[in-house]
């Protein structure tokens, strides 16, 4: 599969000269089959969803959008998705089944309808279907997907494990593992849902909103540290870990420094044994900082 990183920023877009290299669009990842021209599966609909339209070669989007949850930075791209908002589009949008039993369309419309926004979900052109997703397996656009709930803050949140039968992508952009306890390093628990989603994955795209040093003061906002993402990758046997969902204030220079700290031999690139990580070897994943526009072949 091919993975397009269309938006890797968390919370709110980050325009400006200091954010150009890693990008300012919020969460969205597009996935295409190896042999397909266009992506058919999209994970999250932050403002990065606008970046999916140019991948469609002028055609409509026909596929599935899976939302991890309904926070603004994961849905605000929806009404600006020109490839999906056209008469010949066919879109299935699925989101976590709400604890209240509220329908998917109604839950989405609470944030997207007048007076908050000029139109509701039903105002999008094309053939849109909105559905609630229970945890567990599903088939979508020729991919096998496993959805599991992960702790976050304020609303039910899923992580996804996507397989094409050949490779596996794990996507956990918003995750607050300290909700379940401090874990071995004080960064949160390495809990079964996270470990199951990431087990042996080819690429783990994970929340790295915080640095370990920020966890004591800021974990209550609902996010994980970059060092936790790396630790999860190591424990789960991931091949690569993409640090993502960057804090909106985290500049390109600061993200460069984060990348250097995880480079083999760098201060944070060492495994729990203290040995430098070796890219491609199970237990010592390659760890890198996700940048908007990145295309990864799995
Ligand atoms: Zn988010
Ligand atoms: Zn969130």
Entry field: residues in the chain: 298
Question: Does position 258 have pLDDT exceeding 90, yes or no?
Answer: yes
Question: Does position 268 have pLDDT exceeding 90, yes or no?
Answer: no
Here the tokens at position 69 are 């949850």
pLDDT of residue 283: 66
Distance 120 CA to ligand 1 centre (A): 21
pLDDT in tens, 62-82: 999 999 999 999 999 999 999
Distance 74 CA to ligand 1 centre (A): 6
Q: What is the pTM of this model?
A: 0.95
Question: Does position 34 have pLDDT exceeding 70, yes or no?
Answer: yes
With cut-offs at 50, 70 and 90, classify the pLDDT of residue 37: confident
User: Nearest to residue 11, comparing CAs of 59, 88, 74?
Assistant: 74
Q: Cα separation of 93 and 108, whole Å?
A: 10
pLDDT of residue 266: 76
pLDDT in tens, 187-245: 999 999 999 999 999 999 999 999 999 999 999 999 999 999 999 999 999 999 999 99
Distance 156 CA to ligand 2 centre (A): 9
Nearest ligand (C-alpha, residue 45):
1
pLDDT of residue 271: 46
Distance 218 CA to ligand 2 centre (A): 14
Which residues are placed with Cβ below 5 angstroms of ligand 1, an ion? 10, 73, 174
Question: Does position 101 have pLDDT exceeding 90, yes or no?
Answer: yes
């Amino acid at each position: 599969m091919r993975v397009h990183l269309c938006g890797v920023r968390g919370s709110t877009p980050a325009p400006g000269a200091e954010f150009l290299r890693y990008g300012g669009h919020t969460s969205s990842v597009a996935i295409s089959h190896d042999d397909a021209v266009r992506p058919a599966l999209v994970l999250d609909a932050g403002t990065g969803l606008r970046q999916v339209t140019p991948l469609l070669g002028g055609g409509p989007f026909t596929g599935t959008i899976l939302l991890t949850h309904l926070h603004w930075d994961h849905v605000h791209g929806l009404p600006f998705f020109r490839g999906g908002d056209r008469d010949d589009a066919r879109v299935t949008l699925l989101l976590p089944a709400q604890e209240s039993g509220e329908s998917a369309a109604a839950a989405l419309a609470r944030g997207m309808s007048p007076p908050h926004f000029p139109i509701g979900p039903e105002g999008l052109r094309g053939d849109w279907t909105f559905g609630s997703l229970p945890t567990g397996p599903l088939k979508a656009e020729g991919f096998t997907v496993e959805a599991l709930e992960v702790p976050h803050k304020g609303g039910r949140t899923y992580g996804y494990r996507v397989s094409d039968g050949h490779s596996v992508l794990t996507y956990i952009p918003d995750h607050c593992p300290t909700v379940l306890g401090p874990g071995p390093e004080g960064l949160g628990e390495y809990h079964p849902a996270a470990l199951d989603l990431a087990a042996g994955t080819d690429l783990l795209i994970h929340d790295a909103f915080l640095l370990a040093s920020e966890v004591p003061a800021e974990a209550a906002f609902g996010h994980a540290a970059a060092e936790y993402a790396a630790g999860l990758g190591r424990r789960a046997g991931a091949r690569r870990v993409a640090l993502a969902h960057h804090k909106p204030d985290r500049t390109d220079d600061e993200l460069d420094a984060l990348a250097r700290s995880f480079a083999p031999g760098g201060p944070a690139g060492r495994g729990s044994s203290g040995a430098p990580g070796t890219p491609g070897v199970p237990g010592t994943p390659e760890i890198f900082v996700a940048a908007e526009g990145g295309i990864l072949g799995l």
